[in-house]
Structure 1
Amino acid sequence: MSSVEEFRAEIRGWLATHLTGAFAALRGRGGPGREHEVFAERLEWERHMAAAGWTCVGWPEEYGGRGATLEQQVAFHEEYALADAPARVNHIAEQLLGPTLIAFGTPEQRARFLPPIVAAEELWCQGYSEPDAGSDLAGVRTRAERDGDHWVVTGQKIWTSLAHESQWCFVVARTEPGSRRHHGLSYLLVPLDQPGVEVRPITQLTGTSEFNEVFFDGARTRADHIVGAPGDGWRVAMATLGFERGVSTLGQQVGFRRELETLVETAGRNGAADDPLIRDRLARAWTGVETIRCNALRMLDGVASGAPGPEASIGKIFWASWHRELGELAMDVCGAGGMLAAGEPYDLDDWQRLFLFSRSDTIYAGSNEIQRNIIAERVLGLPKEARP
Structure 2
Amino acid sequence: MDATQHDADERFRGEVREWLEQNLTGRFAELRGRGGSGREHEDFEARLEWNRHMAAAGWTCVAWPVEHGGRGLSIAQQVIFHEEYARADAPARVNHLGEELLGPTLIAHGTAEQRARFLPPIVAVEELWCQGYSEPGAGSDLAAVSTRAQRVGDEWSITGQKVWTSLAQQADWCFVIARTEASSSRHRGLSYLLVPMDQPGVEVRPILQLTATSEFNEVFFDDARTDAALIVGGEGNGFKIAMATLGFERGVSTLAQQIAFRRELDAVIDSATRNGAIDDAVIRDRLVRARMTLEVIRQHALRTLGGEQGDGASVTKLLWSNWHRSLGELAMDVNGPASLLVGEEYALDDLQALFLFSRSDTIYGGSDEIQRNIIAERVLGLPREARP
Q: TM-score, normalised by structure 1?
A: 0.97
Q: Is the 8 A contact 2:243 2:310 kept in 1?
A: no
Mapped pair 1:331 → 2:336: no
Return the letter of the residue paired with 1:280.
D
Aligned length: 383
Q: Is the 8 A contact 1:295 1:311 kept in 2?
A: no
Cα distance in structure 1, aligned partners of 2:171 and 2:235: 25
Cα distance in structure 2, aligned partners of 1:218 and 1:315: 37
Q: Is the 8 A contact 2:147 2:179 kept in 1?
A: yes
Q: Is the 8 A contact 2:82 2:253 kept in 1?
A: yes
Counterpart among 106, 117, 121 of residue 111 in structure 2: 106
Q: Displacement of 1:112 after TM fit?
A: 0.7
Counterpart among 6, 13, 21 of residue 8 in structure 1: 13
Residue in structure 2 matched with residue 88 of structure 1 by the alignment: 93
Instruction: Tell me the alpha carbon deviations over residues 152-192 of structure 1, each in whole angstroms, 9 at most, x when there is no partner.
Output: 00000000000000010000000011101010111100001
Mapped pair 1:236 → 2:241: yes
Instruction: Tell me the alpha carbon deviations over residues 188-225 of structure 1, each in whole angstroms, 9 at most, x when there is no partner.
Output: 00001001110000001101000100000000000111
Residue in structure 2 matched with residue 125 of structure 1 by the alignment: 130
Counterpart among 282, 285, 290 of residue 287 in structure 2: 282
SS at match of 1:221: strand
Cα distance in structure 1, aligned partners of 2:241 and 2:138: 17
Residue in structure 1 matched with residue 362 of structure 2 by the alignment: 362
Cα distance in structure 1, aligned partners of 2:314 and 2:113: 34
SS at match of 2:359: helix
Cα distance in structure 2, aligned partners of 1:380 and 1:291: 21
Q: Is the 8 A contact 2:144 2:186 kept in 1?
A: yes
The worse-fitting range, judged by mean Cα deviation, of 71-80 and 372-381 is 372-381
SS at match of 1:371: helix
Counterpart among 191, 204, 210 of residue 205 in structure 1: 210
Instruction: Tell me the alpha carbon deviations over residues 6-57 of structure 1, each in whole angstroms, 9 at most, x when there is no partner.
Output: 1111111100110010000000001111110000000000000000000000
Q: Displacement of 1:117 after TM fit?
A: 0.3
Q: Displacement of 1:84 after TM fit?
A: 0.3
Alignment of 1:216-295 (within 5 A): 216-295=221-300
Alignment of 1:8-87 (within 5 A): 8-87=13-92
Q: Displacement of 1:309 after TM fit?
A: 5.3
Cα distance in structure 2, aligned partners of 1:386 and 1:299: 30
Q: Displacement of 1:319 after TM fit?
A: 1.1
Cα distance in structure 2, aligned partners of 1:380 and 1:32: 32
Q: Is the 8 A contact 1:151 1:222 kept in 2?
A: yes
Q: Displacement of 1:337 after TM fit?
A: 1.0
Q: Is the 8 A contact 1:175 1:184 kept in 2?
A: yes
Q: Displacement of 1:344 after TM fit?
A: 2.1
Residue in structure 2 matched with residue 188 of structure 1 by the alignment: 193
Mapped pair 1:97 → 2:102: yes
Cα distance in structure 2, aligned partners of 1:5 and 1:309: 30
SS at match of 1:294: helix
Q: Displacement of 1:347 after TM fit?
A: 1.0
Cα distance in structure 2, aligned partners of 1:311 and 1:280: 30
Return the letter of the residue paired with 1:356.
L
Q: Is the 8 A contact 2:206 2:215 kept in 1?
A: yes
Q: Is the 8 A contact 1:142 1:155 kept in 2?
A: yes
Cα distance in structure 2, aligned partners of 1:281 and 1:310: 30
Cα distance in structure 1, aligned partners of 2:198 and 2:317: 34
Residue in structure 1 matched with residue 371 of structure 2 by the alignment: 371
The worse-fitting range, judged by mean Cα deviation, of 372-381 and 213-222 is 372-381
Cα distance in structure 2, aligned partners of 1:310 and 1:196: 35
Segments ≥4 residues shifted beyond 6 Å: none
Instruction: Tell me the alpha carbon deviations over residues 93-120 of structure 1, each in whole angstroms, 9 at most, x when there is no partner.
Output: 0000000010111111111100000000
Return the letter of the residue paired with 2:167.
L
Residue in structure 1 matched with residue 318 of structure 2 by the alignment: 317
Q: Is the 8 A contact 1:167 1:193 kept in 2?
A: yes
Counting aligned pairs with the same residue, the percent is: 71
Cα distance in structure 2, aligned partners of 1:256 and 1:290: 11
The worse-fitting range, judged by mean Cα deviation, of 373-382 and 164-173 is 373-382
Cα distance in structure 2, aligned partners of 1:224 and 1:313: 32
RMSD: 1.2
Q: Displacement of 1:85 after TM fit?
A: 0.4
Q: Is the 8 A contact 1:56 1:66 kept in 2?
A: yes
Q: Is the 8 A contact 1:298 1:311 kept in 2?
A: no
Q: TM-score, normalised by structure 2?
A: 0.97
Return the letter of the residue paired with 1:375.
I
**Structure 1 pair 85–211 and aligned structure 2 pair: CA distance change class (3 A):** same
SS at match of 2:169: helix
Residue in structure 1 matched with residue 174 of structure 2 by the alignment: 169
Instruction: Tell me the alpha carbon deviations over residues 44-83 of structure 1, each in whole angstroms, 9 at most, x when there is no partner.
Output: 0000000000000000111110111111111110000000
Cα distance in structure 2, aligned partners of 1:193 and 1:311: 36
Q: Is the 8 A contact 2:159 2:224 kept in 1?
A: yes
Return the letter of the residue paired with 1:275.
D
Residue in structure 1 matched with residue 387 of structure 2 by the alignment: 387
Alignment of 1:125-144 (within 5 A): 125-144=130-149
Q: Is the 8 A contact 1:81 1:255 kept in 2?
A: yes
Return the letter of the residue paired with 1:264.
I
Q: Displacement of 1:310 after TM fit?
A: 4.3
